[in-house]
């Protein structure tokens, strides 16, 4: 049986939520990953170091006993972010990075940034103190087609920001297009991108396969096949500017299977397995450790994990649903299917 042993990986982009969902979803990530960059788009959002420290404690409280897991916290940027609090929080190792949500771009982004220029003083402080800027790279406007939002963000927001702050480190989160891959490569000295399993596995046809598939709806939305091909080439290239970030984003089933359904794919229970399918199909298993365990820490200036995990090429059924007491259930990626890898 084929096995693969690699340094324990990290997830450089995950949504854990809060309250009753938190304890249901954190263990899935903690069992697979040593560390994770935790997104701050709660209600209310995590906008200062005090909130981040408290959220970090709530996460640690639901990590299963005997599992070593370190949440890396992010600051939700707004039009009124206090740059000195962010810098102090980073100095005190509460914040690892800060996240830019363009206002109204996605789930709980209503308090996001309305105009990047308003953030320039904060970006200057981040550049000075080497605090990475993580971007949700979509420009959302009535005149911009939803499938062109990433391209529009690159042209109208990202490129001017790269020019204005030549030393600012930027991660284009959940890159979905060849345009995104190109801009990251062109600025690789201080840019990187995370790639999700769903954008590597599926193109936009998956949202409409035989009918509308709410569990395939996420933001940025799945793109055309030519983009998926470019993303797969980037992920499996071994290039240090591309690394793993699931964007696992749990929503209750009834909130996705609804008249106006929420965006997000809950991939945490099968995250490594999903990526391994891609790397196996691309004959690139030898590049998996770089993508999953080495490139991310190198970008963030952190050591790679010392412990190892072994993955086995053995069919396992993923969970069909995850119950959340009194609230409903969450449907994970690959529910009801088989996946050809498991953790030894």
Q: Does 41 bind ligand DOR (CB under 6 A)?
A: yes
Q: Does 136 bind ligand DOR (CB under 6 A)?
A: yes
Q: Is 263 near ligand DOR (CB under 6 A)? A: yes
Interface residue with ligand DOR among 11, 12, 14, 15 (CB under 6 A) is: 15
Residue 176 makes contact with ligand DOR by CB under 6 A: no
- Of 114, 89, 84, 83, whose CA–CA distance to 100 is shortest? 114
- Is 209 exposed, middle or buried, given 0-12, 13-18 or 19+ CB atoms closer than 10 A? exposed
Least spacing, CB of residue 310 vs Zn ion, in Å: 29
Nearest distance from residue 175's CB to ligand DOR, in Å? 12
219 binds ligand DOR (CB under 6 A): yes
CA distance 125 to 115: 17
Residue 18: both structure tokens together: 């809060």
Residue number, 89 or 112, with CB nearest to ligand DOR: 112
Alpha-carbon distance of 271 to 85, in angstroms, equals 34
Which residue, 219 or 290, has its beta carbon nearer to ligand DOR? 219
Query: Considering the complex, what minimum distance in angstroms separates the CB of residue 6 from Zn ion?
Result: 24
User: Is residue 268 close enough to count as binding ligand DOR by CB under 6 A?
Assistant: no
Q: DSSP letters of 14-60?
A: E---SHHHHHHHHHHHHHH-SEEEEP---SS---SHHHHHHHHHHHH
Question: Contacting ligand DOR (CB under 6 A), which of 24, 48, 106, 267?
Answer: 106
Q: Does 103 bind ligand DOR (CB under 6 A)?
A: no
Q: Based on CB atoms, which residue is closest to ligand DOR, 15 or 227?
A: 15
> Got the DSSP string for 88-103?
HHHHTTSEEEEEE-BT
**Residue 210: CB partners within 8 Å, gap ≥ 6?**
none
Q: At its nearest, how many Å lie between ligand DOR and the CB of residue 105?
A: 7
- Strand partners for 64: none
In this chain, which of 10, 239, 247, 289 binds Zn ion, going by CB under 5 A? 247
Interaction between residue 239 and Zn ion (CB under 5 A): no
Contact 87, 129 (CB under 8 A): yes
75 vs 3: CA distance, rounded Å: 38
179 catalytic, yes or no?
no
Instruction: Give dist(CA 205, CA 295) in Å, integer.
Output: 31
**How many residues sit close enough to ligand DOR to count as binding (CB under 6 A)?**
10
Q: Least Å distance between CB 76 and Zn ion?
A: 12
Catalytic residues: 247
Query: Which residues would be at the binding site for ligand DOR (CB under 6 A)?
Result: 15, 41, 106-107, 136, 218-219, 249, 263-264
């Amino acid at each position: 049986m084929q096995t693969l042993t690699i340094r324990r990986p990290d997830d450089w982009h995950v949504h854990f939520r809060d309250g009753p969902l938190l304890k249901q979803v954190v263990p899935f990530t903690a069992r697979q990953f040593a560390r994770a960059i935790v997104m701050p788009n709660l209600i209310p959002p995590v906008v200062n170091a005090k909130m981040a420290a408290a959220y970090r404690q709530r996460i640690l409280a639901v990590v299963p006993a005997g599992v070593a897991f370190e949440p890396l916290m992010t600051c939700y940027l707004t039009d009124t972010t206090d740059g000195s609090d962010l810098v102090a929080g980073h100095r005190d190792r509460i914040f690892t990075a800060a996240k830019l949500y363009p206002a109204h771009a996605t789930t709980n982004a209503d308090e996001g940034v309305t105009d990047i220029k308003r953030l320039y003083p904060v970006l200057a402080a981040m550049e000075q103190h080497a605090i990475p800027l993580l971007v949700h790279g979509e420009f959302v406007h009535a005149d911009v087609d939803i499938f062109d939002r990433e391209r529009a963000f690159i042209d109208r927001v990202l490129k001017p920001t790269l020019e204005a702050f030549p030393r600012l480190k930027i991660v284009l989160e959940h890159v979905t297009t060849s345009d995104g891959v190109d801009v990251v490569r062109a600025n690789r000295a201080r840019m990187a991108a995370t790639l999700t399993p769903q954008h590597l596995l599926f193109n936009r046809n998956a949202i409409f396969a035989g009918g509308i598939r709410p569990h395939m709806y996420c933001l940025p939305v799945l793109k055309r096949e030519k983009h998926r091909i470019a993303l797969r080439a980037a992920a499996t290239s071994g290039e240090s500017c591309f690394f793993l970030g699931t964007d696992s984003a749990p929503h209750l089933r009834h909130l996705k299977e609804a008249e106006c359904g929420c965006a997000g794919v809950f991939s945490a229970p099968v995250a490594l397995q999903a990526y391994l399918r891609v790397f196996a199909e691309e004959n690139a298993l030898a590049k998996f450790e770089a993508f999953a365990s080495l490139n991310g820490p190198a970008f963030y200036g952190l050591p790679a994990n010392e412990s190892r995990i072994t993955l086995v090429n053995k069919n396992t059924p993923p969970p069909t649903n995850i119950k959340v007491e009194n609230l409903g259930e969450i449907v994970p990626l690959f529910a009801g299917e088989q996946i050809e890898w498991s953790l030894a």
